[in-house]
Structure 1
Amino acid sequence: MINENLKNEICRYAKSTEPHECCGFVVLKRGENQPHFLPCENVAEDKENHFEISPDDYLKSEEMGDILALVHSHPNGKPKLSQADLQTQLYSQLDFWLVCDGKIHVFPKIPLLIGREFEHGKMDCYTLYRDFYRLAGYEMAQYERDDDWWEDGFNLYLDNIEKEGFAQITDQHELQVGDVILIQVGADVPNHAAIYIGDQMVLHHAPKRLSKRDLYDGYWLKHTHSIWRFKEWSKLDFTVPLNSLALSLI
């Protein structure tokens, strides 16, 4: 929960900078137990639609303590992160607090897509698939799921994938970036998901392993159940999730 005084301080500051976007950091200063808001100058050229924090302001905030979140506002926009915001969040690996319509909307950071530790229900193949699409600009629902849900009559993927806006495709030779490949391993229903990332490669997260790229061939191809494409894929931008894969190599 956001401290009420901190929330009011941030909202007042955002209002004072309109019609420009505000920006700043929430910092937990060393030796203190209450976070503080540190406003920063917006040095973007188009301040009404974008924000940019100078390296000097970032360093000053970092020297004060632990940066908990990056704050900015959308006085002329919607309460959702733009692709530019998602790109900035990806590189900063910070929670984003977005002020819009007098409210603070919290967007937790999305960990890099490769190298994640597996934890069923929290950091698993569905989480990876959901986060890939979050970075592309589409928010899917979070579904509660027990370990080995496929043995308890639950059908996580097939029960939900169509209502999330996906349609099945039949030609495996026409795969495109972002297609979701449902895989069935030792179960009566598909119980694993991979995302096609181009060049005959998929991104996925198997139990007891780190999330990784794999060649879509052999074992995974053999156990493919079906392939699904987001109906409005042309409205999404897969640049940010693909950049996440590139960052994992650095």
Structure 2
Amino acid sequence: MGPLVSTHPVGLKRRRPLGLAAVAMALISALLLVLMFFIDLNGFQYVLVFAAYPLLISTPIAITMLRPRVPQTFELYEGGLAHVRDGRRREWTWEQVRAIDVLQNGPISRSGAGIDCTVRFDDGEVVRFDGFTENAGEIAGALGDHCAEAARVPVRPQRLGRLVTVLGGITVGGAGVATWAILTVPHTAEGGDQFGLAMLAVACVVPAVISLILLISVLVHARR
């Protein structure tokens, strides 16, 4: 595959502080949700329902960051890519790359912050690297230079259907609960219950709108 260009170890130490921070956020959010059922502020306690948002976000982050991981390194060559994980080494030429999925926040940089890239090769092997990989942007840039056609092919086509199903379920479920809460408000006595229903409606509308936007984005991207 030609001479070695660079090596890119996957950083494990950076994950633990982020994981602990996510655990702290999840615990605080859960405590606020529990307090909502034990305090009475004339209905204003229902505002604490919004603590569900950081709880839903921080919990999977904590699980992902703190789960045990095996040290691994990517090696970038002029003619291809190698992956070393737990003593097992695999290598592929650029011609063996069949599909690439890249998610990024902003332009790809050398540091690779925000990158989440999955690559499938002609032997069926799939590897993934993200911003925790040292200089991940350099690997993504090399893939873009040598494998532009593969970037138009989804790595796992079946995931698209699952993603559409999940986003569609969130959109319909959130919109349905919000609609029920709004229609119930006129038939509820004035006071805390009305306020609580209003907060429930708002809390459900927000994820429904976000998931709808993501669903439209996914469908538009899939048609390209």
Superposed pair shares fold, TM > 0.5: no
Higher relative contact order (CA 8 A, sep 6+): 2
TM-score, structure 2 length as denominator? Answer: 0.26
* More strand by percentage: 1
TM-score, structure 1 length as denominator? Answer: 0.24
